[in-house]
Structure 1
Amino acid sequence: MQQIYQGFTGQYAATPIKTLGAAPPQAQILLVWENASQGNVPAKAFQAGTEKIGKEDLPIYICRAEHMDGVHPGKIRKGLAGCDITFGHHELSIPVYQVLISSAPLKWTASLNGAVPENAVVGGKDIPPASEDLYLCRGSYPNENGVHPGKIRKNFGGCSIGWGGHIAIVKQYEVLTE
């Protein structure tokens, strides 16, 4: 599956992203990413999980941000200063990002140990030279404290999520699929 990024690099205009796959054009999903910054979450953001902060269960949403010539999926919620992505061995907060807004019929598909199911939704591109697709995933971490969105590609071995400034590779996770 490939994805066309229209105007993302350096231009943070609200841009629909079209996912291309083996399905005929009428069956392709349309994902819309809305620009945001400084911890803001658009009203119609696609919720991917929750995180328990004190006694409150806060909704977590899917975001993506540019970093090192890649576009990396991550998470945003109330109280975060930006889109939290994983990169290298760290969780990074990127202050200018896009948040997934979609009314497309999407579902979460269970997976294990780095497997990416057919019809997985592409949410970004890894850094060059490989520039591999990064798919949208989510996993429970830590100790059932929450369900966090992240990114996956086959060689990650699981869903890469950020928590507490570090990366966690969750071996049992779900991948967003068409």
Structure 2
Amino acid sequence: MLSSPRTSAGVTNLLLHFSLLIYPRHFIIAVSPVLLKTVPRKKFDGRLHWLPIIDGELPSEAMIGGFQNEPIYIARAEHIHSVNPGKFVPSAGRAFIPWGGREHSKSRFEILCGYNAMWVKTRNNQIPHNAFIGGSEVMNRPVYISRAKVNGNLICGKAFAHHAYLPYKGKEIKIDSYEILVLPDDEIPQALPFCDK
């Protein structure tokens, strides 16, 4: 036999009333004395920019540059009157840059942030016109950001003087065929970074 909607509703109301008698509930309704304001969102257009790590905190918009047992990030640091791109390894809390056949550890460095760029395959000194300038050498020549595979790891470093140079296991590894970071063609021209001498 089918029950009418009125009977179902009556039973539901009776069960609700019965459950409130067995399990009494008290509700307090109040207006909050705190006035909430809309928090402005951080405007972020994706352009590449450098930020320092403050109190060991990686910037939220940091660009991942590769992988070496964990994600590694693109970093740059001053070394012998130059600004050199390299890698930041979060578990070490330090940046590592290639220079003079060795990998140099740095505690003061900047992290590349943003996302408006892409990696392009190249070889030797074939630098695209829109390659992102990541640093400068002693003679104030531009240094670019590169990456390549080394023993199954994707390592980021610098492209300069016909090759890519990558910091890896204490050494500076020279690579002929690599990827280079480039900007979209509509980006504004770049300036070389300033190095305190």
How does the TM-score come out when normalised to structure 1?
0.71
Deviations 1:121-163 (Å, cap 9, x if unpaired)?
Answer: 0000111xx2110001100002x2x11111012x2x3210011
Contact 2:101 2:173 in 1 (8 A): no
Q: 2:149 aligns with which of 128, 140, 143?
A: 140
Given the alignment of the two structures, is residue 163 of structure 1 paired with residue 168 of structure 2, yes or no? yes
CA distance in 2, matches of 1:172, 1:124: 20
> Equivalent residue for 2:88?
76
Q: Which amino acid aligns with 1:114?
A: N
After the TM superposition, which segments of 4 or more aligned residues of structure 1 sit over 3 Å from their partners? 37-40
Shift in Å, 1:40? 5.0
Q: Which amino acid aligns with 1:107?
A: M
SS in 2 for 1:86: strand
Contact 1:39 1:95 in 2 (8 A): no
Q: Which amino acid aligns with 2:179?
A: E
> Equivalent residue for 1:44?
61
Structure 1 unmatched ranges of 5 or more: 1-28
Contact 1:39 1:80 in 2 (8 A): no
How does the TM-score come out when normalised to structure 2?
0.65
Q: Which amino acid aligns with 1:76?
A: F
Aligned length: 138
Q: 2:79 aligns with which of 48, 51, 67?
A: 67
Given the alignment of the two structures, is residue 118 of structure 1 paired with residue 123 of structure 2, yes or no? no
Deviations 1:76-135 (Å, cap 9, x if unpaired)?
Answer: 1222241100111110011011001113x21101011232122100000111xx211000
Structure 2 unmatched ranges of 5 or more: 1-45, 184-197
CA distance in 1, matches of 2:158, 2:54: 20
CA RMSD after TM alignment: 1.8
Identity level (%)? 28
Select the structure of larger CA radius of gyration.
Answer: 2
